[in-house]
Chains A and B, each alone.
Chain A
Amino acid sequence: MAAVTLENWKERILDPKIECMSSDEMAALQSKRLADVVERVYNNVDFYHKKMKDLGVEPGDIRGIEDINKLPFTTKEDLRDNYPFGLLAIPKKDVVRVQGTSGTTGKLTLASYSQKDVDVWGECVARCLSMAGLTDEDIIHVCYGYGLFTGGMGLDYGAEALGATAIPMSAGNTKRQMMCMEDFGSTAFACTPSYALHLAESLQEAGAVDRLKLKAGIHGAEPWTEEMRKKIESILHINCFDIYGLCEITGPGVAQDCIHHKGLHINVDYFYPEVLNPVTHEACADGETGELVFTTLAKEAMPLLRYRTKDLTSIDHSTCDCGRTTPRISKFTGRTDDMKVIRGVNVFPTQVETALLSMGGAVAPHYLMIVDREDNLDVLTVMVEVDESMFSDEIRKLDALKAKIGAVLKQALGVSARVKLVEPKTIQRSEGKAVRVIDKRNLQ
């Protein structure tokens, strides 16, 4: 199947009433739902009751969505402290399912769902599948893992809610995936972007691409670049979409990008987003990068108020070319965990990346920030791998490049940085998330 280009793309909006709602109507709906959820957690969840009391806030103070900043934050640590069922707002017998994520350290993060929560989850994923051009006639090959991880079940519920056919392959066994994809005539597949690329390359090597009926790929659960999307699309001749979610909030289906790929549309009738300055907690303007914070507006089993995702993004409230009015978040560029305070200034690796990209390189450069302390002063060194586009035969040009990188970084970060040009591939690559910062100050 050939990828559908924008000219002959047919936009399918599953719930135009919600997805194309005016901002006033949406604010009214969100206000009503926020007041309701605040009432429920205040009365049923000890953790929130205490937190609100400590802040001197009562449900009556929350008259509309604009009052959201009066509410307390929730962190991943709060979830761990109340593991496994401490944040339930409904009787435990009404919980129909749990999902979780394995943290890199210690306990699981567990989320509970009522039947209505599961239905809403399916509805949200169905909106995303529809955004990817899929209908009840499609066959969706789900090679996300099924289990506590939300990927498999989430896409499954979504396919079911859309009326499409779900093929619950789960992850792994690439040969069998390829065989079933061909035999069943799957028209879409869902998995992590890295597995999608692996599968695409395997299909290409086997010469099976032309025998497939694929037209869309739904990928998320890990960060990926535009280049990676284009690569998968060009191998398989399909359109790929970036689906986002986290199990604390519901799982995949919190947001996804449309064919225009100008950010991920959030299902804001269910999940209210705030983008906040991670230090001052003040709201960021559209386009400004900050931490993404979600409030679940309709969740029954485990509603969360102002959950700090630690994901860094920016938001855009303008109406999209696809016709949806739901605000869009930009692709994720980093996490607040990576933030460093250098000589009193907050520095994110993403700022370094953006600054280096602004110098005209076509691909994201490989770099490493090293923070150290010399004579009681913080020193930031940025190692940058030299690639062919920046390499020159003349030392003076390389020196000039070094000085220019230094100037661009100083401008972008607000602190000066020593620049060290290094040979290609000397900065260690990692399988998953790239290591961008080494803080040697902690070791002293």
Chain B
Amino acid sequence: MIKQLSVFVENRPGSLMNVTSALTEAHINIRAIASFDTPEFGILRLVVDKPAEAKTYLTSRGFVVRIHDVIGVELKDEKGNLNRMLSILAEGEININYIYSFVIREGRAPVMVFNTDDYEKAAKVLSAADVKIVEEADL
């Protein structure tokens, strides 16, 4: 299981940059980022190297932040690998709320991050199918 930051952002120019520049100030390294929008506001989701510190700093700068557990799985960069992983989850009747991928991993296999309501079951079906689940320390 890995930690993800969710940040409330309004849908207006500069709102994402405000978050990333705060993280830069705090010397936090961003590993993955995704944003999902509605007309007025969105949630910016990030995986960073120091989630607790990042939350403290962002909160002190006036952002609303939550830390959530998400599942990260390692996928070899080969055709059909994402489809295979999603099939395993679909067969296990795991609902995925959202999914996004890591930015760069310096030569290592890509990581997909997803959120679900049933982590235990998701972890079980993925392990049973020999899909590698990434932990904080592996990032």
Contact = CB atoms under 8 A, between A and B. Distances in A.
Interface in B1-56: 4, 6, 8-10, 15, 36, 38, 40-43, 45
B96 interface: no
B62 A421 contact: no
Contacts of A392: 66
A420 interface: yes
Contacts of B42: 395
B38 A399 contact: yes
In this complex, which of A388, A423, A426 has the most chain B Cβ atoms within 10 angstroms of its Cβ?
A: A423
Contacts of B41: 386, 398, 421-422
A54 interface: no
A291 B65 CA distance: 41
Contacts of B36: 395
Contact of B64 (A395, A420, A423): A423
Given A386-B64, A388-B66, A393-B43, A423 B38 contact: no
B68 interface: yes
Contacts of A393: 4, 6, 43, 45, 66, 68, 115
Interface residues of A, number: 17
A424 B115 contact: no
Contact of A420 (B4, B40, B59, B68): B40
Nearest to A420: B40
A387 interface: yes
Contacts of A423: 8-10, 15, 62-64
Interface of A: 386-388, 391-395, 398-399, 420-426
Nearest 10 CB-CB pairings of A with B:
A393-B6, A425-B62, A391-B64, A386-B8, A424-B62, A393-B68, A386-B64, A423-B10, A391-B8, A388-B64
Contacts of B43: 393-395, 398
B97 interface: yes
A393 B35 CA distance: 11
Contacts of B66: 388, 391-393
Contacts of A388: 59, 64-66
11 contacts: A386-B41, A386-B64, A391-B64, A393-B4, A393-B43, A395-B38, A420-B40, A423-B62, A424-B62, A425-B62, A426-B10
Q: Is the interface of A mostly helix, strand, loop or mixed?
A: loop
Given A395-B42, A424-B63, A425-B62, 6 more contacts: A386-B8, A386-B41, A393-B68, A394-B97, A422-B10, A423-B9
Contacts of B115: 393
Interface residues of B, number: 22
Nearest to B5: A393
B88 to A, nearest CB: 23
A424 B43 CA distance: 14
A382 to B, nearest CB: 13
Contacts of B63: 423-424
A428 to B, nearest CB: 13
Contacts of B97: 394
A410 to B, nearest CB: 19
Contacts of A394: 43, 97
A393 B116 CA distance: 12
A8 to B, nearest CB: 40
A297 B34 CA distance: 68
In this complex, which of B10, B36, B42, B68 has the most chain A Cβ atoms within 10 angstroms of its Cβ?
A: B10
A291 B115 CA distance: 52
